Structure 1
Amino acid sequence: MELKDIKSVYFVGAGGIGMSAIARYFLHKGVTVAGYDRTPSELTRQLEREGMDIHYEENVDLIPQPCRDKATCLVIYTPAIPAEHKEMVFFREGGFTIEKRAQVLGTLTRTHKGLCFAGTHGKTTTSTMCAHIMHESHVDCNAFLGGISKNYGTNYILSESDYIVIEADEFDRSFHWLRPWMSVITATDPDHLDIYGTKEAYLESFRHYTTLIQPGGALVIHTGLEMKADVQEGVKVYTYSLNEGDFHAENIKIDNGEISFDFVSPIERVDGIVLGQPIPINIENGVAAMAMAQLNGCTPDELRHGMATYGGVDRRFDFRLKNSRHVVLSDYAHHPKEIFQSAKSMRELYKDRKITAIFQPHLYTRTRDFYRDFADALSQLDEVILTEIYPAREQPIPGVTSQLIYDNLKPGVEKAIIRKDDVIDYVKSRDFDVLIILGAGDLDNYTDEIAHIIDNK
């Protein structure tokens, strides 16, 4: 189905962060937008306020009339929806055009210059940084982001620009639908082994992704990755990292809560970059974001302005309380390497303070595959509180519980396992100095209440 033929769009799994960005795109285009999601959330409520018709019961009768014409309705679904879902069965048997979110994004990369950010971790922050830099510059951009930008209060940016910034998701090989003009690859630490099976298959998926970059474009890839890029002729390849590669940082200064550095680039060096969200890991994220923005025409002053005014992403090193007595923040980190970087940044920022994490592991398979790595990463902190595993799309696996992580935490780390439902009472009964809420599940729903309790102690 061509974009011009679409008069209504129906989302099966409307409340996901990535799905909602596409919903907003079609709302802006003025077509009927409706959908199903299992549970209401702040995001779905906001979409309803913006004009989307959403229901929360798996019921074909609730599909609105404009979404019942297969000739003009595009159905978009998330891979987390089971094949036997009643509404999916209705659309499938009715001969509707049914596409994954990634297929729709792929269509957009054929009509715009797609600037795509892929990688096991870091892609949400890096793509949001780049989108902010470019949107604030003379170049401008559209953007479909994997998190809520604090600068814009949304995960979607619309403009008349030819550029479109996209977070390229490797789950279910979704990023293979894209045809990037340029791409950043941040990391390829194996993940989603329930989908890929082996590390080799995971790395092969990234290799194939690099073949999709359009001739004349570019790949900006983190140094030292295990994968091997395989770009078409006419695609330039650049490397980046914190302190080496074609793009990197020099003269890094971390002082009194502020971070500045110089941006080294084969195009033009830019001195005096100041981070608007001063977190050590954002130096490297910023290098990748600025590399992409600079390759597409942003000036030195625009890079400085974009980085200085970048406000961060919800649940990505997201401070909810910060004063001289207490710090509470939320971080979406749910892979061992992400947690390692998060814990490392915390240690650099709060060298002499007691740091506690409450961690909700995400997925049984991920816990089974990486429980030792989770324990090693968390062992950088002083105290670790574990809740039960957030299952998301999975059924329990016998013997796979948070106890696996607990048993492998290093000696000297204070530790406990509690039920998620008991977290609020646990926080009320304890004192905390620096507290970080970790994970990609629903524990973050408690973070504002936790911050309020701690602030009033």
Structure 2
Amino acid sequence: MMHKKQIFFVGIGGIGMSALARYFKLQQHTVAGYDLTSTTLTHNLENEGITITYDDNIERIPKNMLKKENVLVVYTPAIPEENKILTYFRSHSFEVVKRAALLGKITQQYQSIAIAGTHGKTSISTFTAHLLYQSKLKCNAFLGGISANYQSNLLFDKKAAYTVIEADEYDRSFLHLNPKIALITSVDADHLDIYGSFMQIENAFKEFAQKTINNTGVLIVQKKILQKIDWPHQAISYSTTEKADYQAINTNYSDGAYNFDLATPKGVFQNLKIKLPGSYNFENAVAAAALAIEAGIEEQELRNGLATLKGVERRFQIHTNKEIIYIDDYAHHPAEIEACIDSARHAFPGKKVTVAFQPHLYSRTKDFHTEFTKALSLANYIYLLPIYPAREKPIDGVSSKIISNHLSKSKHQLVSKAELIEALEENAPEIFISMGAGDIGFMVDDIKKTLNKHLT
């Protein structure tokens, strides 16, 4: 598949797909693609010379992408089976591959660092990529978010020692990978439409872990789940709160920054600092530091890299930090919501937290509506938006109401996106968090403008 010089991406606007598109464009391939909607990301891809159509019509396929012997077609499982463009390529015997399979093929050319887990993959991958890229080691990186340091989801250096990738558990995609260094952040019930049970999720993570060990690789696991699940005995641990192989010690948080020492198997790295608020940002930075140290980063390079971390778009991203604090976050699983709210309370103690949550997927809402209720109840007030369906069709009886039914009536309201803006015009929250993996992320500018009206 790698020898073909023309590549068409079906679902090119996805964060993982767009990183691959950028990579092949840098490799002098001709790249084009389809996506359902135009976004800032697809606009940037077009500015980089990539042709994109937003019309699911085979007549919109570029003429130079119609010879099957010259073209590789890449798709994401988020694309529905009835997509006309994907159906055309399949029915005309084009070589069609999943994004995960292509990523696995690319990373065979490099020593890879893979970050797996139901939460935290994007932040840790992006942090790790920055630590290595600014060091003498350098790296390539395919990221699931936009790095605030580089304003991109792709880093590339021909002399790179490693390639950093997210090991996505959805559709068992991470089993295409053979990492040299792997880290597992968390293993929670999710994607039950794919796995069916938590035991099957756990088994998939164990298989990923064993592949790393079989590849004579290094396996790092968050301490809490190292204790809960029977991992390969070679696994090493990290934590910000418990005794671990990589452990933050002497931690002090003040003025939005963490100052700490890091106990490691190679000794104690002293006087480290990250200027990102939020307790889960801190834990993710410690995880990234463990990966970078295992990869061979020097102590001063690590210190410099941590001090210059700017974070990731939509991962506890603080947009206003004055009288009203506005945070936007990708949280779409109950455990992520809980971590986000806890981080906000830790970073800004004593303030009331208001959240707007857009559930992502009918199946996830059906499977976890009780857990969503419990997590959201940690906030002082909740605006609950309609479900963002993404790749799914509606499920009878499943809507945001099945979460709402168990929330205190005085603590929440069901709203449309327009009604959310109207509510924020009337009431100024102390801390406001927009949460979700759907199109709530496109509301950030409107929310900022609305909240800023209260400051004039």
TM over 0.5: yes
Q: Please list the CA deviations of residues 52-82 of structure 1 after superposition, one character each: whole Å capped at 9, or x if unmatched.
A: 0000111112211222222221110010112
**Partner residue, 2:446:** 449
Task: State how far apart, in whole Å, the 1-side matches of 2:229 and 2:60 are.
Answer: 46
Alpha-carbon shift at residue 242 of structure 1 (Å): 1.6
Q: Residue 95 of structure 1 aligns to which amino acid in structure 2? A: S
Q: Residue 230 of structure 2 aligns to which amino acid in structure 1? A: K
- 1:254 and 2:253 matched: yes
Task: State how far apart, in whole Å, the 1-side matches of 2:201 and 2:318 are.
Answer: 33
Q: Please list the CA deviations of residues 126-165 of structure 1 after superposition, one character each: whole Å capped at 9, or x if unmatched.
A: 1100000000001110000000000000000010213100
Alpha-carbon shift at residue 371 of structure 1 (Å): 1.3
**Partner residue, 2:420:** 423
Q: Residue 305 of structure 2 aligns to which amino acid in structure 1? A: G
**Partner residue, 2:110:** 112
- Please report the TM-score for the alignment, with normalisation by the length of structure 2: 0.96
Task: State how far apart, in whole Å, the 2-side matches of 1:395 and 1:387 are.
Answer: 17
Alpha-carbon shift at residue 404 of structure 1 (Å): 2.2
Alpha-carbon shift at residue 398 of structure 1 (Å): 2.0
Which structure 1 segments of 5+ residues have no match? none
Q: Secondary structure at the match of 2:366?
A: helix
Q: Residue 306 of structure 2 aligns to which amino acid in structure 1? A: M
Q: Secondary structure at the match of 1:408?
A: coil
**Partner residue, 2:173:** 174
- 1:345 and 2:343 matched: yes
Alpha-carbon shift at residue 410 of structure 1 (Å): 5.7
- 1:263 and 2:262 matched: yes
Task: State how far apart, in whole Å, the 2-side matches of 1:254 and 1:410 are.
Answer: 33
Please tell me whether the aligned partners of residues 259 and 280 of structure 1 are also in contact (alpha carbons under 8 angstroms): no
**Partner residue, 2:218:** 218
Task: State how far apart, in whole Å, the 1-side matches of 2:332 and 2:193 are.
Answer: 15
Q: Please list the CA deviations of residues 364-398 of structure 1 after superposition, one character each: whole Å capped at 9, or x if unmatched.
A: 11111111211111222111111111111112222
- Please report the TM-score for the alignment, with normalisation by the length of structure 1: 0.95
After superposition, residues 106-145 of structure 1 pair within 5 angstroms as 106-145=104-143
Which structure 2 segments of 5+ residues have no match? none
Alpha-carbon shift at residue 6 of structure 1 (Å): 1.6
Please tell me whether the aligned partners of residues 70 and 97 of structure 1 are also in contact (alpha carbons under 8 angstroms): yes
Task: State how far apart, in whole Å, the 2-side matches of 1:139 and 1:438 are.
Answer: 35
**Partner residue, 2:436:** 439
Q: Please list the CA deviations of residues 257-282 of structure 1 after superposition, one character each: whole Å capped at 9, or x if unmatched.
A: 22111111112321111113232212
Alpha-carbon shift at residue 228 of structure 1 (Å): 3.0
After superposition, residues 17-416 of structure 1 pair within 5 angstroms as 17-160=15-158, 161-213=160-212, 214-225=214-225, 226-230=228-232, 236-243=234-241, 244-323=243-322, 325-409=323-407, 414-416=411-413
Alpha-carbon shift at residue 230 of structure 1 (Å): 4.4
Please tell me whether the aligned partners of residues 376 and 410 of structure 1 are also in contact (alpha carbons under 8 angstroms): no
Q: Secondary structure at the match of 2:272?
A: strand
Task: State how far apart, in whole Å, the 2-side matches of 1:102 and 1:408 are.
Answer: 38
Q: Residue 263 of structure 1 aligns to which amino acid in structure 2? A: L
Task: State how far apart, in whole Å, the 1-side matches of 2:271 and 2:105 are.
Answer: 39
Please tell me whether the aligned partners of residues 208 and 230 of structure 1 are also in contact (alpha carbons under 8 angstroms): no
Task: State how far apart, in whole Å, the 2-side matches of 1:209 and 1:201 are.
Answer: 12
Task: State how far apart, in whole Å, the 2-side matches of 1:52 and 1:172 are.
Answer: 28
Deviation larger for 326-335 or 218-227: 218-227
Task: State how far apart, in whole Å, the 1-side matches of 2:386 and 2:59 are.
Answer: 36
Task: State how far apart, in whole Å, the 2-side matches of 1:305 and 1:347 are.
Answer: 28
Q: Residue 215 of structure 2 aligns to which amino acid in structure 1? A: P
Task: State how far apart, in whole Å, the 2-side matches of 1:63 and 1:229 are.
Answer: 47
Task: State how far apart, in whole Å, the 1-side matches of 2:418 and 2:192 are.
Answer: 29
Q: Secondary structure at the match of 2:251?
A: strand
Q: Residue 403 of structure 1 aligns to which amino acid in structure 2? A: K
Q: Secondary structure at the match of 1:456?
A: helix
Task: State how far apart, in whole Å, the 2-side matches of 1:167 and 1:220 are.
Answer: 14
Task: State how far apart, in whole Å, the 1-side matches of 2:208 and 2:390 are.
Answer: 26
Q: Secondary structure at the match of 1:333?
A: coil
Query: Which stretches of structure 1, 4 residues or more, deviate above 6 A after TM superposition?
Result: none
Task: State how far apart, in whole Å, the 1-side matches of 2:23 and 2:376 are.
Answer: 39
Q: Secondary structure at the match of 1:432?
A: coil
Q: Please list the CA deviations of residues 97-144 of structure 1 after superposition, one character each: whole Å capped at 9, or x if unmatched.
A: 111111111012211011000000011001100000000001110000
Task: State how far apart, in whole Å, the 2-side matches of 1:397 and 1:335 are.
Answer: 19
Tell me the matched-pair count.
449
Alpha-carbon shift at residue 451 of structure 1 (Å): 1.2
Percent identical pairs in the alignment equals 41
Task: State how far apart, in whole Å, the 2-side matches of 1:218 and 1:227 are.
Answer: 18
**Partner residue, 2:10:** 12
Q: Please list the CA deviations of residues 203-243 of structure 1 after superposition, one character each: whole Å capped at 9, or x if unmatched.
A: 11111111221533111011232443348xxxx42111222
Deviation larger for 83-92 or 38-47: 83-92
Task: State how far apart, in whole Å, the 2-side matches of 1:256 and 1:180 are.
Answer: 37
Please tell me whether the aligned partners of residues 375 and 410 of structure 1 are also in contact (alpha carbons under 8 angstroms): no
